[in-house]
Amino acid sequence: MTDHSPSRPKVQQDALLPRNTRRSLPIALLRAREAVMTHFRPMLAEHDITEQQWRVIRILAEAGTVDASEMADRAFILAPSLTRIIRSLEERGLITKAKDDNDGRRVLLQITPAGLAIINEVAPESRLIYETLEKRFGRERIDQLLDMLDELATIHD
Amino acid sequence: MTDHSPSRPKVQQDALLPRNTRRSLPIALLRAREAVMTHFRPMLAEHDITEQQWRVIRILAEAGTVDASEMADRAFILAPSLTRIIRSLEERGLITKAKDDNDGRRVLLQITPAGLAIINEVAPESRLIYETLEKRFGRERIDQLLDMLDELATIHD
DNA sequence: TTATTATATTTAACATGTTAAAGATATCGG
DNA sequence: CCGATATCTTTAACATGTTAAATATAATAA
Protein backbone atom coordinates (compact mmCIF):
# COMPACT_ATOMS: atom_id res chain seq x y z
CA MET A 1 0.00 0.00 0.00
CA THR A 2 1.90 3.01 -1.25
CA ASP A 3 1.30 6.45 0.09
CA HIS A 4 0.67 9.04 -2.55
CA SER A 5 -0.27 11.82 -0.16
CA PRO A 6 2.33 14.55 -0.46
CA SER A 7 1.41 15.96 2.91
CA ARG A 8 2.02 12.89 4.98
CA PRO A 9 4.42 13.76 7.78
CA LYS A 10 7.48 11.65 8.09
CA VAL A 11 6.92 9.63 11.19
CA GLN A 12 9.80 7.24 11.41
CA GLN A 13 7.80 4.05 11.34
CA ASP A 14 4.10 3.50 11.45
CA ALA A 15 4.84 0.94 14.11
CA LEU A 16 5.44 3.82 16.44
CA LEU A 17 2.00 5.18 15.84
CA PRO A 18 -0.78 4.16 18.16
CA ARG A 19 -3.37 1.75 16.92
CA ASN A 20 -5.66 3.16 14.29
CA THR A 21 -8.17 5.70 15.46
CA ARG A 22 -10.98 3.83 13.78
CA ARG A 23 -10.59 0.98 16.23
CA SER A 24 -9.95 3.09 19.27
CA LEU A 25 -11.92 1.83 22.24
CA PRO A 26 -12.27 5.23 23.91
CA ILE A 27 -13.59 6.85 20.75
CA ALA A 28 -15.85 3.92 19.98
CA LEU A 29 -17.35 4.18 23.45
CA LEU A 30 -17.81 7.90 22.96
CA ARG A 31 -19.50 7.44 19.60
CA ALA A 32 -21.84 4.78 20.85
CA ARG A 33 -22.78 6.83 23.87
CA GLU A 34 -23.39 9.90 21.76
CA ALA A 35 -25.54 7.92 19.34
CA VAL A 36 -27.69 6.64 22.18
CA MET A 37 -27.99 10.05 23.80
CA THR A 38 -29.06 11.59 20.50
CA HIS A 39 -32.30 9.70 20.91
CA PHE A 40 -32.90 10.97 24.42
CA ARG A 41 -31.60 14.52 24.39
CA PRO A 42 -34.44 16.20 22.46
CA MET A 43 -36.94 14.80 24.94
CA LEU A 44 -34.93 16.10 27.89
CA ALA A 45 -34.43 19.45 26.18
CA GLU A 46 -38.17 19.86 25.91
CA HIS A 47 -38.33 19.73 29.67
CA ASP A 48 -35.33 22.00 29.92
CA ILE A 49 -33.14 19.51 31.78
CA THR A 50 -29.77 18.12 30.89
CA GLU A 51 -28.81 14.50 30.83
CA GLN A 52 -26.96 14.81 34.13
CA GLN A 53 -29.83 16.63 35.81
CA TRP A 54 -32.12 13.87 34.61
CA ARG A 55 -29.86 11.22 36.11
CA VAL A 56 -29.91 13.00 39.47
CA ILE A 57 -33.65 13.43 39.82
CA ARG A 58 -34.26 9.97 38.45
CA ILE A 59 -32.04 8.40 41.08
CA LEU A 60 -33.81 10.40 43.77
CA ALA A 61 -37.14 9.12 42.46
CA GLU A 62 -35.81 5.58 42.55
CA ALA A 63 -34.03 5.68 45.87
CA GLY A 64 -35.54 8.41 48.01
CA THR A 65 -33.16 10.43 50.15
CA VAL A 66 -29.59 10.09 48.94
CA ASP A 67 -26.49 11.93 50.07
CA ALA A 68 -24.17 13.64 47.64
CA SER A 69 -21.48 10.97 47.73
CA GLU A 70 -23.88 8.17 46.96
CA MET A 71 -25.39 10.30 44.22
CA ALA A 72 -21.98 10.90 42.69
CA ASP A 73 -21.40 7.13 42.70
CA ARG A 74 -24.73 6.15 41.27
CA ALA A 75 -25.05 8.90 38.67
CA PHE A 76 -21.36 8.69 37.86
CA ILE A 77 -20.87 12.42 38.22
CA LEU A 78 -17.76 13.94 39.76
CA ALA A 79 -18.19 15.83 43.01
CA PRO A 80 -17.47 19.31 41.62
CA SER A 81 -19.98 18.81 38.82
CA LEU A 82 -22.51 17.48 41.27
CA THR A 83 -22.18 20.56 43.46
CA ARG A 84 -23.15 22.74 40.53
CA ILE A 85 -25.95 20.46 39.40
CA ILE A 86 -27.41 20.35 42.90
CA ARG A 87 -27.32 24.13 43.12
CA SER A 88 -29.11 24.44 39.81
CA LEU A 89 -31.76 21.83 40.59
CA GLU A 90 -32.41 23.35 43.99
CA GLU A 91 -32.79 26.83 42.50
CA ARG A 92 -35.34 25.41 40.10
CA GLY A 93 -37.20 23.75 42.93
CA LEU A 94 -36.78 20.22 41.62
CA ILE A 95 -34.86 18.93 44.64
CA THR A 96 -34.23 19.91 48.24
CA LYS A 97 -30.94 19.93 50.06
CA ALA A 98 -30.44 19.44 53.79
CA LYS A 99 -27.54 18.83 56.12
CA ASP A 100 -27.38 15.37 57.65
CA ASP A 101 -27.99 15.67 61.40
CA ASN A 102 -25.84 12.64 62.13
CA ASP A 103 -22.93 13.81 60.01
CA GLY A 104 -22.60 17.51 59.38
CA ARG A 105 -20.39 16.95 56.41
CA ARG A 106 -23.03 15.19 54.40
CA VAL A 107 -25.68 16.77 52.22
CA LEU A 108 -28.96 14.94 51.89
CA LEU A 109 -30.93 15.25 48.69
CA GLN A 110 -34.61 14.68 48.04
CA ILE A 111 -36.83 15.15 45.06
CA THR A 112 -39.70 17.63 45.26
CA PRO A 113 -43.22 17.26 43.82
CA ALA A 114 -42.10 19.48 40.94
CA GLY A 115 -39.22 17.09 40.33
CA LEU A 116 -41.53 14.11 40.48
CA ALA A 117 -43.78 15.79 37.99
CA ILE A 118 -40.96 15.90 35.49
CA ILE A 119 -40.12 12.29 36.17
CA ASN A 120 -43.70 11.29 35.50
CA GLU A 121 -43.76 13.24 32.28
CA VAL A 122 -40.43 12.08 30.93
CA ALA A 123 -40.26 8.49 32.13
CA PRO A 124 -42.89 7.02 29.77
CA GLU A 125 -41.25 8.67 26.79
CA SER A 126 -37.87 7.51 27.97
CA ARG A 127 -39.08 3.95 28.28
CA LEU A 128 -40.55 4.07 24.82
CA ILE A 129 -37.31 5.27 23.28
CA TYR A 130 -35.38 2.60 25.10
CA GLU A 131 -37.77 -0.11 24.01
CA THR A 132 -37.43 0.95 20.40
CA LEU A 133 -33.69 0.76 20.78
CA GLU A 134 -33.99 -2.68 22.31
CA LYS A 135 -36.10 -3.89 19.44
CA ARG A 136 -33.69 -2.65 16.84
CA PHE A 137 -30.54 -3.84 18.53
CA GLY A 138 -31.89 -6.88 20.30
CA ARG A 139 -32.47 -7.22 24.00
CA GLU A 140 -30.04 -10.08 24.38
CA ARG A 141 -27.30 -8.19 22.61
CA ILE A 142 -27.88 -5.13 24.76
CA ASP A 143 -27.60 -7.34 27.82
CA GLN A 144 -24.46 -8.86 26.43
CA LEU A 145 -23.09 -5.38 25.71
CA LEU A 146 -23.95 -4.19 29.22
CA ASP A 147 -22.15 -7.19 30.67
CA MET A 148 -19.03 -6.51 28.66
CA LEU A 149 -19.09 -2.82 29.53
CA ASP A 150 -19.47 -3.64 33.18
CA GLU A 151 -16.56 -6.02 33.03
CA LEU A 152 -14.45 -3.46 31.24
CA ALA A 153 -15.31 -0.86 33.85
CA THR A 154 -14.26 -3.12 36.71
CA ILE A 155 -11.24 -4.76 35.15
CA HIS A 156 -8.70 -3.00 37.34
CA ASP A 157 -10.33 -3.06 40.77
CA MET B 1 -38.31 -7.38 48.72
CA THR B 2 -39.84 -4.90 51.13
CA ASP B 3 -38.79 -1.30 51.31
CA HIS B 4 -37.90 -0.19 54.79
CA SER B 5 -36.62 3.20 53.74
CA PRO B 6 -38.87 5.83 55.31
CA SER B 7 -37.67 8.44 52.85
CA ARG B 8 -38.78 6.77 49.66
CA PRO B 9 -40.86 9.27 47.70
CA LYS B 10 -44.31 8.22 46.65
CA VAL B 11 -44.03 7.75 42.96
CA GLN B 12 -47.33 6.35 41.80
CA GLN B 13 -46.04 3.16 40.29
CA ASP B 14 -42.54 1.95 39.77
CA ALA B 15 -43.65 1.08 36.28
CA LEU B 16 -43.54 4.75 35.51
CA LEU B 17 -39.92 4.96 36.50
CA PRO B 18 -37.29 4.55 33.83
CA ARG B 19 -35.34 1.34 33.74
CA ASN B 20 -32.95 0.90 36.60
CA THR B 21 -29.93 3.13 36.56
CA ARG B 22 -27.66 0.17 37.08
CA ARG B 23 -28.50 -1.15 33.64
CA SER B 24 -28.54 2.16 31.88
CA LEU B 25 -26.73 1.97 28.59
CA PRO B 26 -25.60 5.61 28.58
CA ILE B 27 -24.12 5.36 32.06
CA ALA B 28 -22.56 1.97 31.34
CA LEU B 29 -20.87 3.43 28.27
CA LEU B 30 -19.67 6.36 30.33
CA ARG B 31 -18.28 4.12 33.05
CA ALA B 32 -16.49 1.87 30.65
CA ARG B 33 -14.99 4.78 28.81
CA GLU B 34 -13.87 6.39 32.01
CA ALA B 35 -12.30 3.15 33.20
CA VAL B 36 -10.32 2.86 29.99
CA MET B 37 -9.23 6.48 30.05
CA THR B 38 -8.06 6.14 33.62
CA HIS B 39 -5.24 4.01 32.25
CA PHE B 40 -4.23 6.55 29.65
CA ARG B 41 -4.79 9.89 31.32
CA PRO B 42 -1.76 9.93 33.66
CA MET B 43 0.53 9.29 30.69
CA LEU B 44 -1.03 12.14 28.71
CA ALA B 45 -0.91 14.41 31.75
CA GLU B 46 2.83 13.88 32.00
CA HIS B 47 3.14 15.41 28.56
CA ASP B 48 0.68 18.12 29.49
CA ILE B 49 -1.87 17.23 26.85
CA THR B 50 -5.51 16.32 27.17
CA GLU B 51 -7.19 13.32 25.69
CA GLN B 52 -8.75 15.42 22.94
CA GLN B 53 -5.50 17.16 22.09
CA TRP B 54 -3.90 13.75 21.85
CA ARG B 55 -6.58 12.56 19.45
CA VAL B 56 -6.00 15.58 17.22
CA ILE B 57 -2.23 15.34 16.91
CA ARG B 58 -2.42 11.58 16.59
CA ILE B 59 -4.77 11.84 13.65
CA LEU B 60 -2.50 14.41 12.03
CA ALA B 61 0.42 12.02 12.47
CA GLU B 62 -1.61 9.24 10.90
CA ALA B 63 -3.16 11.16 8.04
CA GLY B 64 -1.00 14.18 7.29
CA THR B 65 -2.83 17.37 6.37
CA VAL B 66 -6.44 17.30 7.46
CA ASP B 67 -9.02 20.05 7.39
CA ALA B 68 -11.06 20.95 10.44
CA SER B 69 -14.23 19.22 9.31
CA GLU B 70 -12.51 15.93 8.67
CA MET B 71 -10.72 16.26 11.98
CA ALA B 72 -14.01 16.83 13.76
CA ASP B 73 -15.35 13.66 12.14
CA ARG B 74 -12.37 11.48 12.84
CA ALA B 75 -11.63 12.66 16.36
CA PHE B 76 -15.32 12.89 17.17
CA ILE B 77 -15.00 16.40 18.50
CA LEU B 78 -17.65 19.06 17.94
CA ALA B 79 -16.66 22.05 15.84
CA PRO B 80 -16.73 24.62 18.65
CA SER B 81 -14.52 22.44 20.83
CA LEU B 82 -12.20 21.82 17.94
CA THR B 83 -11.79 25.55 17.33
CA ARG B 84 -10.52 25.96 20.88
CA ILE B 85 -8.32 22.90 20.76
CA ILE B 86 -6.74 24.03 17.51
CA ARG B 87 -6.03 27.44 18.97
CA SER B 88 -4.39 25.89 22.01
CA LEU B 89 -2.31 23.40 20.03
CA GLU B 90 -1.19 26.11 17.63
CA GLU B 91 -0.17 28.40 20.49
CA ARG B 92 1.89 25.57 21.89
CA GLY B 93 3.51 25.00 18.52
CA LEU B 94 2.32 21.42 18.16
CA ILE B 95 0.33 22.02 14.98
CA THR B 96 0.09 24.61 12.22
CA LYS B 97 -3.04 26.10 10.76
CA ALA B 98 -3.43 27.42 7.20
CA LYS B 99 -6.26 28.51 4.99
CA ASP B 100 -7.07 26.18 2.11
CA ASP B 101 -6.20 27.97 -1.16
CA ASN B 102 -8.87 26.10 -3.05
CA ASP B 103 -11.58 26.79 -0.48
CA GLY B 104 -11.17 29.81 1.72
CA ARG B 105 -13.61 28.46 4.24
CA ARG B 106 -11.50 25.50 5.14
CA VAL B 107 -8.71 25.37 7.67
CA LEU B 108 -5.89 22.94 7.00
CA LEU B 109 -4.07 21.40 9.91
CA GLN B 110 -0.62 19.86 10.06
CA ILE B 111 1.49 18.50 12.84
CA THR B 112 4.82 20.17 13.63
CA PRO B 113 8.11 18.49 14.59
CA ALA B 114 7.33 19.38 18.19
CA GLY B 115 4.00 17.63 17.82
CA LEU B 116 5.65 14.61 16.26
CA ALA B 117 8.10 14.49 19.15
CA ILE B 118 5.20 14.09 21.56
CA ILE B 119 3.68 11.39 19.37
CA ASN B 120 6.93 9.50 19.37
CA GLU B 121 7.23 9.75 23.13
CA VAL B 122 3.67 8.84 23.97
CA ALA B 123 2.84 6.27 21.31
CA PRO B 124 4.96 3.40 22.64
CA GLU B 125 3.55 3.86 26.13
CA SER B 126 0.07 4.07 24.70
CA ARG B 127 0.55 0.85 22.79
CA LEU B 128 1.81 -0.89 25.88
CA ILE B 129 -1.18 0.15 27.94
CA TYR B 130 -3.52 -0.97 25.19
CA GLU B 131 -1.80 -4.32 24.86
CA THR B 132 -2.10 -4.90 28.57
CA LEU B 133 -5.78 -4.14 28.33
CA GLU B 134 -6.09 -6.52 25.40
CA LYS B 135 -4.43 -9.29 27.33
CA ARG B 136 -6.67 -8.88 30.34
CA PHE B 137 -9.90 -8.50 28.45
CA GLY B 138 -9.12 -10.64 25.45
CA ARG B 139 -8.44 -9.42 21.96
CA GLU B 140 -11.41 -11.22 20.45
CA ARG B 141 -13.75 -9.79 23.02
CA ILE B 142 -12.45 -6.30 22.43
CA ASP B 143 -13.03 -6.79 18.72
CA GLN B 144 -16.50 -8.07 19.46
CA LEU B 145 -17.12 -5.09 21.70
CA LEU B 146 -15.87 -2.67 19.05
CA ASP B 147 -18.19 -4.26 16.51
CA MET B 148 -21.19 -3.91 18.79
CA LEU B 149 -20.33 -0.32 19.63
CA ASP B 150 -19.95 0.51 15.98
CA GLU B 151 -23.29 -1.02 15.21
CA LEU B 152 -24.91 0.85 18.05
CA ALA B 153 -23.39 4.10 16.83
CA THR B 154 -24.75 3.64 13.32
CA ILE B 155 -28.12 2.14 14.13
CA HIS B 156 -30.12 5.17 13.05
CA ASP B 157 -28.35 6.27 9.90
C1' DT C 1 -9.26 15.95 75.57
C1' DT C 2 -6.36 17.32 71.89
C1' DA C 3 -3.70 16.88 67.90
C1' DT C 4 -3.75 14.20 63.93
C1' DT C 5 -5.78 12.04 60.27
C1' DA C 6 -9.61 10.87 57.35
C1' DT C 7 -13.84 11.96 54.91
C1' DA C 8 -17.46 14.97 52.56
C1' DT C 9 -18.29 18.90 50.12
C1' DT C 10 -17.13 23.09 47.91
C1' DT C 11 -14.31 26.31 45.31
C1' DA C 12 -11.12 27.51 41.72
C1' DA C 13 -9.24 27.26 37.21
C1' DC C 14 -9.09 25.56 32.97
C1' DA C 15 -10.72 22.30 29.11
C1' DT C 16 -14.45 20.38 26.69
C1' DG C 17 -19.55 19.46 25.54
C1' DT C 18 -23.73 21.47 23.65
C1' DT C 19 -26.81 24.40 21.16
C1' DA C 20 -27.75 28.52 18.64
C1' DA C 21 -26.30 32.13 15.96
C1' DA C 22 -22.97 34.88 13.44
C1' DG C 23 -19.27 35.38 9.83
C1' DA C 24 -16.97 34.09 5.77
C1' DT C 25 -16.69 31.81 1.57
C1' DA C 26 -18.69 28.65 -2.19
C1' DT C 27 -22.09 27.12 -5.10
C1' DC C 28 -26.04 27.30 -7.79
C1' DG C 29 -29.92 29.01 -10.55
C1' DG C 30 -31.55 32.64 -13.16
C1' DC D 1 -23.01 38.75 -12.79
C1' DC D 2 -26.47 38.48 -8.86
C1' DG D 3 -28.94 36.95 -5.28
C1' DA D 4 -30.37 33.05 -2.72
C1' DT D 5 -28.74 29.08 -0.53
C1' DA D 6 -25.43 25.93 1.29
C1' DT D 7 -21.18 24.90 3.69
C1' DC D 8 -17.19 25.70 6.90
C1' DT D 9 -15.61 27.89 10.83
C1' DT D 10 -15.93 30.78 14.71
C1' DT D 11 -18.18 33.05 18.58
C1' DA D 12 -21.23 33.15 22.48
C1' DA D 13 -23.37 31.34 26.50
C1' DC D 14 -24.06 28.01 29.57
C1' DA D 15 -23.31 23.12 31.51
C1' DT D 16 -20.19 19.63 32.67
C1' DG D 17 -15.45 17.24 33.04
C1' DT D 18 -11.06 17.28 35.40
C1' DT D 19 -7.54 18.12 38.76
C1' DA D 20 -5.89 20.41 42.81
C1' DA D 21 -6.68 22.82 46.80
C1' DA D 22 -9.58 24.74 50.44
C1' DT D 23 -13.13 24.11 53.95
C1' DA D 24 -15.86 21.80 57.30
C1' DT D 25 -16.83 18.02 60.07
C1' DA D 26 -15.77 13.19 61.95
C1' DA D 27 -13.06 9.70 63.65
C1' DT D 28 -8.92 8.14 65.80
C1' DA D 29 -4.96 7.74 68.64
C1' DA D 30 -1.87 9.50 72.13
| The pLDDT value given to residue B57 | 97
CATH architecture label of A45-153: Orthogonal Bundle (1.10)
pLDDT for residue A18 is more than 70: no
Determine if strand C comes within 7 Å of the CB of B6: no
Q: What is the largest CA-CA distance in chain A?
A: 71
| The pLDDT value given to residue B157 | 54
Rounded to an integer, the average pLDDT of B89-117 is: 97
For the stretch A36-49, pLDDT in tens is 999 999 899 999 99
Q: What 3-state DSSP class applies to A140? A: helix
| The pLDDT value given to residue B19 | 61
Rounded to an integer, the average pLDDT of A18-43 is: 86
Q: Give nearest nucleotide to B41 (CA–C1').
A: D18
Which residues of chain A make contact with B97, given a CB cutoff of 8 A? none
Average pLDDT over chain B reads 88
Please state, in angstroms and rounded to a whole number, the distance separating the CA atoms of residues A113 and B112.
57
- To the question of pTM greater than 0.85 for the whole model, the response is yes
Smallest CA-to-CA distance from A126 within B18, B26, B28 is with B18
Question: B26-153 has which fold?
Answer: Arc Repressor Mutant, subunit A (1.10.10)
Residues 34-93 of A with CB under 8 A from B: 34-40, 51, 55, 58-65, 74-76
Check CB contact of B132 with chain A, cutoff 8 Å: no
B42-46, B105-109, B111-115: the lowest-pLDDT one: B42-46
Torsion of Cα atoms, A118 then A122 then A127 then A133, to 10°:
-140
∠ CA A122-A120-A60, nearest 5°, is: 95
| The pLDDT value given to residue B21 | 65
